[in-house]
């Protein structure tokens, strides 16, 4: 597959098949061993099993394989990053934050279960992510690195920190530097962490770990640039969520800072950089190359 063109339909179909299999296993993990309240479990499963592209767990799995591991070695880490992603959507949708009614084409968790349950379901998904990321590792001694990696990607200097500067940015003048920071922390940090967790679970050496980190980081920023563009150009029914929100809320966004056309160029440039990061791999990384193209060409 060349870097200049990619069949979006084919990538989508292939990802869809993969995610159907992942979702079945994901559902079986979302059953508590202990005595959890049924209402909480229902809200967590509602949020987590509503579809979604499952890009992050796909990266975990594929980066594990590219690092020499078997896909099973990364399974619980893959579920962990999707739990984190789901937790972030549930909390970001809250009335005190983005105040969204619709997510993945269905009512948001707080609209369906109430605000208190949405806060707590998010909290429980975040907690579960850490429980999972150390489960059934090929080597128990890796647990500490896995937890450290996940916490860095999620915490005050990662995704959660990014959500804070995104919210605080609503009161500020449009700034491309600020947009870059938001994209890096809010989105790229967890993409990078997904790739690194897979690489760690696969026993990657330093050069492989570094290459896959760069792939994840660049792809994450490219993905968020494309997301900012789609917020302007796509319809709500395409996206399964409200669009045009960035302008309404006065959010920092790439199109607002540099215009749509320049934003498209930035997204493509970042995707190309992600592809370059894969140079030390052969054809076995073609799916990740195709995904980098898909991320900027997608319509939702």
Binding to a second copy by residue 29, rule CB under 8 A? no
Residues 6+ apart with CB under 8 A from 34: none
Binding to a second copy by residue 5, rule CB under 8 A? no
Query: Hey, which residues between 78 and 137 contact a second copy (CB under 8 A)?
Result: 87, 91, 94, 96-97, 114-117, 119-120, 122-124, 126-128, 130-131, 133-134, 137
Helix (H, G, I), strand (E, B) or coil at 139: coil
Candidate list 1, 50, 151, 176; residue touching a second copy; CB under 8 A: 151
Residues 6+ apart with CB under 8 A from 89: 47, 103
Binding to a second copy by residue 244, rule CB under 8 A? no
For 234-262, letters b (16+ CB in 10 Å) and e give: beeeebebbbeebeeeebbbbbbbbeeee
CB of 96 to a second copy, least distance (A): 4
Which of 130, 131, 124 has the alpha carbon at shortest distance from 38?
Answer: 124
Say if CB 103 and CB 122 are below 8 A apart: no
Candidate list 20, 156, 250, 262; residue touching a second copy; CB under 8 A: 156
Binding to a second copy by residue 36, rule CB under 8 A? yes
Candidate list 160, 188, 200, 204; residue touching a second copy; CB under 8 A: 160
CB of 261 to a second copy, least distance (A): 30
Binding to a second copy by residue 18, rule CB under 8 A? no
CB of 157 to a second copy, least distance (A): 3
Say if CB 37 and CB 50 are below 8 A apart: no
Binding to a second copy by residue 33, rule CB under 8 A? yes
Binding to a second copy by residue 39, rule CB under 8 A? yes
CB of 125 to a second copy, least distance (A): 9
Binding residue count for a second copy, defined by CB under 8 A: 54
With residue 241 as reference, give the H or E element that holds it: none
Structure token pair of residue 189: 């940090």
Say if CB 106 and CB 50 are below 8 A apart: yes
**Site mask for a second copy (CB under 8 A), range 181-200, x = bound:** ----x---------------
Q: How many CB atoms lie within 10 A of CB 279?
A: 9
CB of 98 to a second copy, least distance (A): 9
Bridge partners for 102 per DSSP: 107
Please say whether the dihedral angle defined by the alpha carbons of residues 195, 200, 205 and 206, taken in this order, is positive or negative: positive
With residue 216 as reference, give the H or E element that holds it: helix 206-233
Give residues in contact with a second copy (CB under 8 A).
32-37, 39-41, 44, 87, 91, 94, 96-97, 114-117, 119-120, 122-124, 126-128, 130-131, 133-134, 137, 140-141, 143-144, 147-148, 150-152, 154-158, 160-161, 163-165, 167-168, 185
């Amino acid at each position: 597959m060349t870097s200049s063109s990619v069949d979006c339909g084919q990538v989508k179909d292939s990802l869809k098949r993969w995610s159907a299999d992942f979702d079945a296993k994901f559902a079986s993990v979302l059953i508590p061993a202990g005595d959890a309240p049924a209402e909480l479990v229902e809200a967590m499963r509602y949020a987590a099993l509503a579809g979604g592209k499952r890009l992050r767990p796909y990266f975990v799995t594929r980066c594990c394989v590219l690092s020499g591991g078997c896909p099973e070695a990364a399974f619980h880490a893959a579920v962990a990053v999707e739990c984190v992603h789901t937790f972030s959507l549930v909390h970001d949708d809250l009335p005190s934050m983005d105040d969204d009614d619709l997510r993945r084409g269905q009512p948001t968790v707080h609209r369906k279960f109430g605000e208190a349950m949405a806060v707590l379901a998010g909290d429980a998904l975040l907690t579960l992510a850490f429980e999972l990321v150390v489960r059934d590792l090929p080597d128990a001694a890796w647990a500490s690195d896995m937890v450290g990696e996940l916490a860095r990607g999620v915490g005050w200097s990662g995704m959660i920190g990014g959500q804070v500067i995104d919210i605080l940015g609503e009161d500020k003048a449009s700034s491309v530097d600020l947009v870059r920071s938001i994209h890096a922390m809010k989105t790229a940090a967890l993409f990078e962490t997904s790739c690194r967790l897979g690489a760690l679970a696969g026993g990657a050496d330093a050069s492989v770990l570094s290459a896959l980190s760069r792939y994840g980081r660049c792809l994450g920023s490219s993905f968020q640039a494309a997301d900012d563009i789609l917020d302007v150009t796509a319809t709500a029914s395409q996206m399964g969520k409200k669009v045009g929100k960035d302008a309404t809320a006065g959010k920092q966004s790439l199109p607002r800072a540099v215009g749509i056309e320049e934003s498209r160029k930035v997204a493509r440039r970042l995707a190309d950089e992600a592809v370059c990061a894969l140079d030390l791999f052969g054809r076995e990384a073609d799916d990740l190359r195709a995904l980098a193209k898909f991320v900027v060409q997608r319509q939702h």
